[in-house]
Structure 1
Amino acid sequence: MQRHMPIGYKIVDGKIVLNVEKVEVIQKIFKDYLNGVSMITIAKELTATGFLNANNKPNWNHGSVGRILENSKYLGDSMYPQIIDEVTFELVQQQRKAKNKKLGRTPQINTRKNQSVFTSKLKCGECGNIYRKYIEHAGRPSEKSNWKCKRYIYQNRVHCRNLFLTGKDIENIFISATNKILSRMWILDKEKKKEPSKMTIEIRNLEERIKELEDEKQFSSKELAELIFKRAKAYYKISKIDDYDYTTKKIKEELLDKQPLTEFNEELFINIVEEIIIYKDGKIQVEYINGIMMEEDYGEIRKDE
């Protein structure tokens, strides 16, 4: 799950609701693309208007627009209200495929689009990079795939020597961690510690300094831009805290009446796992969407296979 909430949504009283102003921009992006406006042109327009991207920066490019156009969360699901109708979304996907074919852009085996449900969910605990799926000897009897840290090989040199995982390893890690929750559902009823006072003070100080700079008409100052970015991050942290009750309820609904898992459940994995963090010493942390962590041991997982 991308770590940021998709643009167009916000948290209100612990629930994900539409951010009307941003919804209009998202819908315009889809409409413009269907009307033949290129992604580069759309990116330039978004940058020129100062519209913030997923990292709360007014910098857009071909890739960031593409991620908007391919984000299926805009179709709506159990957590996110619908922003884009199914017909529009499907037409955009068809148009992108047609353009890629015309330009000779064919999928590559190890590109992100050809990964799996684990893509963007696996994180290296040693260097902080994501894990990617690498296929070796493709199309041959000896073909095999492993998930490795993105920085395992960088500029033809080994940089990160973290563990390699097979898809089966990841499935078993999820099964083991989730079964621990199923066997002690009471842990979902533990209240998450909140930090409102500290965050309120931080935001208040940021707001005061931002107002000072704006009163001085220093709208182009580097400090003002940095403070606005810090303020956005602070509000994002608060939204994550407020989201705890909602996401915990979501996990409970997903696990309701479930027996201990014996097989990998792809839909359940997508709906309740935030990320899996892998460490070189074999420690693996499974973080669920409400922030709860379950720890697994790589050696034990392999031993049980």
Structure 2
Amino acid sequence: MPQVQVIQPIQQQPKRLRVAAYARVSSDSEDQLNSLAVQVDYYTHLIQENPNWEFAGIYTDEGITGTSTKRREQFNRLMDDCRAGLIDRVLVKSASRFARNTADALSSVRELKSLGVTVAFEKEGFDTETSNGEMLLSIICAVAQEESLSISQNMKWGIHKRMRTGNYITNATPFGYTQINHQLVPEKNNAMIVNDIFKSYLSGMSINEIAEHLNTIYPKENSKWNPRTIHAILRNEKYIGDSLYQKTYTTDSLPLKRYLNTGQRSKYYAMETHEGIISKTDYEKVQNLLAKKSITGEIDRTCVFSKKIYCSICGAICSRKGPPTQGFVWCCRTHLQSKALCLLKSIREDELQQAFLSIYNRLQCNQKTILEPLVDDLLGLRHLQEQKYKKRLALGEDIQHLAKQKHNLTRIHTLGYIEEPQFIERSAAIEQQIRERKQQLSRNDMSNTSEKILQKTRLIQKKLSSTPPLELFDESVFKELVKKVLISNTAIQFELINGMKLSESRAAT
């Protein structure tokens, strides 16, 4: 008989799992923050002391509800790192810390499973690597979701009761006030500004003029006064010492969203809840004046060029200046502060209108040579994106299949059906394949930018085809097509909604 020599496989050490932890507290109270610090310390030591684990970081959200993932910055960063193939396993204290919204929880867990990332829930004693993990998670998250909604309903009931009795204490402090022992008290300097706003409006100044006046006399450190803020101050009943409760409301079901209360819920008007800043007579005069201007359409009508005209020299936004009788001009705000800081010359509004007419009519005549080739290129790019999407789907399925193989291999090894050397070799090979698929996923990252450009280019084509050449400036056409206008001393550049930039020379001055 021939002699057979057994050549043992090379024993490779299995790759250390890259393990991260996620912690969340729903409020920023001292007790909750202490709890968060304890969780961070616990998981940091737990991961770093395990020789088979590699520390991949701790992700924490403070004072954020678990009913939605939108505002959970660290949770979303954790998901992004998992998509990038930087994490193999996630530890969480409990399912309620992961999410109180069943749909969000299952969606996130399924995506992580498709990426080959498992999630372990310590309190409940299970992880998503097991076959019944997802079923248990859905049950636990459903209970947590109902518990969260129940707490929300109880809190709403208590708040509404305090509103009806006039004992509700708002967390919001209006400009001009400070809170002392949960009571609104006028703050001397800012109360003077509030008085100035009301007197200026009663004297005949417009809301825009008041905003510009305040930016000159009472400039803010990190922001500017704007017409919307002035309008809100003029409408706020708290400046006469009264309080209107439940101006907004939150929905009763997930996802919890806040809306302006325009009659969907009861409102509660409490009189003399604190010291006023403005007399009730002046306040009533202002409300009557606002109502009249609103009816006649005189209340600070926004120009179609507002927030679209920018200086190409310093990048500042341009402001509209001058009386209507002499024609408006647009000036760089930096230039208005100091001519030495920016040398941009003002531009007449009628020149902007004529420049747009020229650009529009020229584009309409030449859309076959300008827009159609662009659309063809974008359609080709869409085809490449579709191929890339199919490849990503295939890679995701491969990762999920390999993750199942790894799980089955671990089970049969635990049951003693496979020897240690074979388990190590096969496990290392599967992990290597998973890593390669994840790297390919990160290289084939999808972007819908080209699709948005294509859609907006077609909107431009549709508008150009349905509108005759313009003889007069059309505000609606400008608003639909133009995203931004850059002004220099020699040219006017229009950036269209699809990112295309077209320039027109400025008139010589």
Higher relative contact order (CA 8 A, sep 6+): 1
